[in-house]
């Protein structure tokens, strides 16, 4: 492939699928935590740590690996990460104890960051329709996150949780081969060494107030997202629902409908309506949480709330990403590093706090703390508008 050519529709679809399949590996564990706990005879709390460790690994990969997208050949970096991910997934199918699962979960998180090399790469290759392209790629990411729950719940229920990771290894290998054939090479501008690259990434925080506010709102709302999906497994598996893993996974299908709206919010950002999109996003998340607080045991209300929650978080993410990619064409990977590191630190904290609240106060504590995070995000958006 020649350098810096605009992306074709096929390439955008392929990159969206690759992004979704890669990031899905962080979330396969969420509907199957009870199965993993049972297989190793450990508590739900110890199994729940798997979700947090995956997100911590992803955060480490974001900060220490994704800035390399501004220095190294992006295509080679993506293929290398995916190849190592295949090996790690195969090792997960052979894990013999919970500490091995914890260690491999961190490594899976680190190696899944290829998605955050793909995203800025797509944005840089299609500047005329950046919001729309970012929306399409991010649709793939969110569908991957949400479909992961459906797939892992079904596979674990019928075949066992280890098969989830075996299936993923085969899928990632196939995608890596397709990317090797069809992904373009991209010329990079950064000429300094690795530590200068990391230092330059940190300098982006000082440079752009838009990046600072986007990072805070992104981290807060993704914390809500992760807190919700991690504890939902325990909420639905207990009374009065008593659902099994395959049924719990089906709730991801509801949320996929929200993920399909990503290109619409990307178009809004392209038209300069970013602030309005952000306000709408946070408002939808807050309303969804109020519904869950008032009607905690209604399946119908929960389905509506899941749809609203995911549309809101989806709108926030696509809008934020489209905004930060307008800041500096030569620093996309470093800017993306700061934003997404904040984003997944928020996710890891949300998972941790959600598990604590579940242990000590059940679903009511979980939904209350998520509402607090959402109100903080609303305050930041309102301040940014002023």
- The better pLDDT of the pair 14, 246 is held by 14
Mapped to the 3 state alphabet, what secondary structure does 5-45 carry? CCCCHHHHHHHHHHHHHHHHHHCCCHHHHHHHHHHHCCCHH
pLDDT at 131: 66
Q: Give the pTM.
A: 0.76
**How far apart, in whole angstroms, are the C-alpha atoms of residue 31 and residue 148?**
9
**How far apart, in whole angstroms, are the C-alpha atoms of residue 161 and residue 186?**
38
What domains appear along the chain, each with residue ranges and CATH number? 9-385 (1.20.1250.20)
Peptide bond into 152 cis (omega under 30): no
Kindly state the average pLDDT of the residues 190-198. Answer: 78
**How far apart, in whole angstroms, are the C-alpha atoms of residue 132 and residue 214?**
19
**How far apart, in whole angstroms, are the C-alpha atoms of residue 198 and residue 213?**
21
Cα→Cα distances 44→214, 230, 361, Å: 34, 11, 15
Mapped to the 3 state alphabet, what secondary structure does 346-370 carry? HHHHHHHHHHHHHHHHHHHHHHHHH
pLDDT at 269: 59
**How far apart, in whole angstroms, are the C-alpha atoms of residue 153 and residue 250?**
8
- Lowest mean per-residue pLDDT among 20-29, 30-39, 331-340: 331-340
**How far apart, in whole angstroms, are the C-alpha atoms of residue 376 and residue 220?**
8
pLDDT at 259: 64
Which 3 state secondary structure label does DSSP give 191?
coil
pLDDT at 1: 42
- 81 pLDDT band, cuts 50/70/90, is very high
Residue 351 near residue 227 (C-beta atoms within 8 A):
yes
Q: Is the dihedral of CA 107, 111, 115, 121 positive or negative?
A: positive
Share of the chain above pLDDT 90, in %: 33
Residue 18 near residue 175 (C-beta atoms within 8 A):
yes
What are the tokens at 55?
């997100």
| Residue-wise pLDDT tens digits, 104-156 | 999 999 999 998 888 878 877 766 666 677 778 877 887 887 788 788 888 98
| Residue-wise pLDDT tens digits, 256-313 | 776 676 566 656 655 666 777 788 889 999 999 999 999 988 889 998 998 889 888 8
Kindly state the average pLDDT of the residues 193-200. Answer: 82
Residue 197 near residue 333 (C-beta atoms within 8 A):
no
pLDDT at 3 over 50: no
- 189 pLDDT band, cuts 50/70/90, is low
């Amino acid at each position: 492939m020649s350098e810096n050519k605009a992306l074709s529709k096929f390439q955008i679809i392929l990159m969206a699928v690759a992004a979704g399949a890669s990031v899905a590996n962080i979330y396969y564990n969420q509907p199957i935590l009870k199965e993993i706990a049972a297989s190793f005879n450990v508590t739900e709390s110890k199994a729940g740590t798997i979700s947090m460790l995956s997100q911590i690994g992803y955060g480490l990969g974001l900060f220490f690996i994704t800035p390399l997208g501004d220095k190294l050949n992006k295509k080679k970096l993506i293929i290398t990460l995916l190849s190592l991910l295949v090996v790690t997934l195969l090792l997960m199918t052979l894990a013999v104890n919970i500490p091995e699962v914890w260690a491999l979960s961190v490594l899976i998180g680190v190696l899944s960051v290829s998605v955050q090399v793909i995203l800025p790469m797509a944005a840089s290759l299609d500047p005329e329709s950046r919001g729309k392209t970012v929306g399409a790629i991010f649709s793939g990411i969110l569908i991957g996150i949400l479909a992961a729950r459906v797939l892992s719940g079904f596979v674990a229920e019928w075949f066992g949780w280890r098969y989830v990771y075996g299936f993923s290894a085969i899928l990632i290998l196939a995608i890596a081969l397709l990317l090797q054939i069809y992904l373009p090479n991209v010329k990079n501008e950064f000429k300094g060494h690795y530590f200068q690259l990391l230092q330059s990434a940190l300098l982006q925080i000082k440079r752009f107030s838009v990046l600072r506010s986007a990072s805070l709102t992104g981290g807060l709302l993704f914390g809500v997202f992760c807190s919700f999906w991690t504890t939902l497994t325990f909420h639905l598996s207990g009374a009065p629902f008593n659902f099994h893993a395959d049924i719990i996974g089906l709730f991801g299908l509801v949320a996929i409908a929200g993920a399909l709206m990503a290109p619409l919010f990307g178009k809004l950002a392209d038209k300069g309506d970013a602030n309005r999109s952000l306000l709408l996003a946070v408002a939808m998340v807050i309303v969804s949480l109020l519904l869950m607080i008032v009607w905690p045991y209604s399946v119908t209300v929960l389905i509506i709330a899941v749809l609203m929650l995911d549309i809101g978080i989806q709108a926030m993410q696509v809008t934020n990403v489209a905004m930060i990619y307008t800041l500096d064409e030569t620093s996309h990977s470093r800017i993306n590093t700061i934003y997404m590191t904040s984003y997944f630190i928020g996710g890891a904290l949300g998972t941790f706090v959600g598990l604590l609240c579940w242990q000590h106060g059940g679903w009511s504590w979980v939904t209350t703390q998520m509402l607090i995070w959402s109100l903080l995000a609303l305050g930041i958006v309102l301040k940014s508008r002023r």
